[in-house]
Amino acid sequence: MNTIPAEEAAAIYRNAVLKVMHRETQMVKTEESLGRITASAVYARYCSPLYNAAAMDGIAVISAHTATASEVTPLVLKQGVDYQVVDTGDPVRMPYDAVIMAEDLLDAEEDSVKITASVPAWQHIRPVGEDIVAGEMLLAGNHKIRPIDIGVLLSGGIVEIEAIKKPKAGIIPTGTEIIEADQVPREGDIIESNSRMFAAMTESSGGIPRRYPPIPDDYEKIKHAVQGAVKENDIVIVNAGSSAGTEDYTVHILKELGEVLVHGVAIKPGKPVILSIVEGKPVIGLPGYPVSAYIDFENFVRPVMDLYSGETNSSRNVMKAVLSKRLVSSLKHKEYVRVKVGKVDDRFVASPLARGAGAAMSLVRADGFCIIEKNSEGYEAGETVSVELFRDIEEISNTVVAIGSHDLILDILADRMPLTHPGIYLSSTHVGSMAGLMALKRGEAHIAPTHLLDEDTGVYNIPYLKRLFSDRDMVLIKGVRRIQGIIVKKGNPLGIKEIRDLTGVNYVNRQRGAGTRVFLDYKLKEAGIAPSEVNGYDREAATHMAVAALVKNGGADAGMGIYSAAKAMDLDFIPVGEEEYDFATEKKNLELPKIQAFIEVLKSSGFKEKAMTIGGYELSMAGEIIEV
């Protein structure tokens, strides 16, 4: 597949679409026009106010009659002769030409008042057309209607507007392996999700989605579906089958039915996009991988949708951040790397997430894209890069960044934080205890969840902080005591009882620097077993849940981990010992409101109750501060 640069592909396609497209318009009731886009300028029918109106509650007077009033020569005015009582909004008719506020009247009687100042003509009167003059332009064409616009349109006598018709987008998922989301998946099945994502993206870019049922990989069936969808919609999206597989028919079908302008762009993820015109309508083939599909939708579908809908989906905010990890990329394509951004010590730090095209969660977790242009080999750790944001800078700034060891209580804390402390969030990245402490040292995290046993003293965490942060004031925010043990299949078919039994089974270990691995090493040493005696000692999984998942699906017989992970996956658990899982931070961070919020949540009964339902925790010290 030959690829061309993404910008070139978008420009070629835009020109081709502009040649065939036409925008349609429709009349829309003003009160239902929120978010719609005006097809042409809208002019007022009426003035507003329609008449000279009192701007205050009080009396309407003839300004000339008040000329002699002053503090020393108060003036008495007679109702019906010199004034008329008015409320805000009442018409003020000639000869009355000014309003005096009720508060400024003295000795108010049934039919007379006293004033102590003269008033200029037109005081407190809103003259005809002060706000809107009949015939005036209220809104320009191509304007997206906001709530205030609706108010002004109605005040100006406009009860319906001519709006640009929303484009209809037909969405066809394809693939024999695809099943609907309400079916139970078996091996080889993929739950259909992309089309629903496209539908939501279509709506958010001002279009009307129409989703068709999934079509198996069958040339004639897909062709038939595309022909039907082209008739019924303005734009058509065909999903999957865009690359080079034996059943990737989309490009051949589109070549048969119309003209393919582009197949393959130098962009990653998202390479095999197909941009075509069939029967004068844009038909776009998007790749099956969700991240590829998302990025291609943003780059190629949305701009086309905008041409039809009149939307100007404004570009994302861009910010500068320091990269936490080296990022290497090929010169051959522009790459969209998903990053998490955190604000630590007044510095924004971008941490790259999983880069695979199938890693949809990387998009969920991401705060933005770090884009590595074609012809760039990437960036070094510590370099300042631009990040295209999906999230508010404010939100990012109010997020506690935790990098380190994983425990399910982190998820509970993250879930509870915005409930009890609105506007404050917790984001956690799981890299193991030691790597977390290193991230803390480099200023990439606020807190590092850690459970590292010091073999010499038998003390958890504190010896490591003393050793690694000798030049800084550190504290340990106490977390939980939790049970470490051996995770085995339900029913423990191999009869594993203790560390010694690990020599005879297929074990899965944790990565170097993970607290659980340090714990295993300690226990092996205690039992006089060499690591080489454990079959699978060198095989590494990244989290407790990853270990549990491997045991669950038969990839391993046993792995060391926490009770809650075994319970979450309905596995058996052989307790081996208790350990302390705490949060390391710099002492100065304790003053940050977001860290205070974190500690409050950790101490809260709501959090503790939730953690107890998972089981395997002892929480009496949670939230206490230990100076190191």
Shortest distance, CB of residue 292 to ligand MOO, whole angstroms? 3
Query: Using CB under 6 A, which of 30, 292, 433, 516 touches ligand MOO?
Result: 292
Between 243 and 276, CB nearer to ligand LQZAQKY5: 243
Q: Tell me which stretch binds ligand LQZAQKY5 (CB under 6 A): 46-54, 130-138, 186-194, 460-468.
A: 186-194
Query: Using CB under 6 A, which of 86, 98, 158, 357 touches ligand MOO?
Result: 357
The mark string for 286-325 relative to ligand LQZAQKY5 (x by CB under 6 A, - otherwise) is -xxxx-x---------------------------------
Q: How would you write 458-473 as a 3-class SS string? A: CCECHHHHHHHCCCCC
Spatial distance between the Cα atoms of 240 and 122, rounded to a whole number of angstroms: 69
Between 222 and 240, CB nearer to ligand MOO: 240
Q: Which of residues 242-281 bind ligand LQZAQKY5 (CB under 6 A)?
A: 242-245, 248, 269, 271-272
Query: Using CB under 6 A, which of 269, 436, 513, 616 touches ligand MOO?
Result: 269
Q: Tell me which stretch binds ligand MOO (CB under 6 A): 52-60, 262-270, 306-314, 453-461.
A: 262-270
Question: In 10 A of CB 484, how many CB atoms?
Answer: 25
User: Which of 279, 243, 241, 239 is CA-nearest to residue 259?
Assistant: 279
Between 178 and 462, CB nearer to ligand MOO: 178
The end-to-end CA distance of the chain, in Å, is 59
* Contact call for residue 239 and ligand LQZAQKY5 (CB under 6 A): yes
CB contact at 8 A, 445 and 402: yes
Shortest distance, CB of residue 254 to ligand LQZAQKY5, whole angstroms? 13
Spatial distance between the Cα atoms of 481 and 493, rounded to a whole number of angstroms: 29
Residue 484, H or E segment: strand 474-488
- Name the residue number minimizing CB distance to ligand MOO: 269
Residue 200, H or E segment: helix 194-204
Q: Give the orientation angle of helix 6-20 with respect to helix 302-309, to 10 degrees.
A: 30
Q: Residue 276: CB partners within 8 Å, gap ≥ 6?
A: 254, 255, 258, 259, 260, 261, 282, 283, 284, 285
Spatial distance between the Cα atoms of 215 and 250, rounded to a whole number of angstroms: 12
Q: Tell me which stretch binds ligand MOO (CB under 6 A): 184-192, 287-295, 518-526, 570-578.
A: 287-295
Which ranges of 106-146 would DSSP assign to H, the alpha helix? none
Distances (CA, A) of 437 to 353, 402, 451, 509: 19, 10, 11, 20
- Name the residue number minimizing CB distance to ligand LQZAQKY5: 288
Q: Tell me which stretch binds ligand MOO (CB under 6 A): 177-185, 269-277, 370-378, 563-571.
A: 269-277
Q: Judged by CB under 6 A, how many residues of this single chain contact ligand MOO? A: 9
Query: Using CB under 6 A, which of 96, 198, 289, 297 touches ligand MOO?
Result: 289
* Contact call for residue 165 and ligand MOO (CB under 6 A): no
Both tokens assigned to 78: 């007679």
Between 158 and 199, CB nearer to ligand LQZAQKY5: 199
Residues at the contact surface with ligand MOO, assessed by CB under 6 A: 268-272, 287, 289, 292, 357
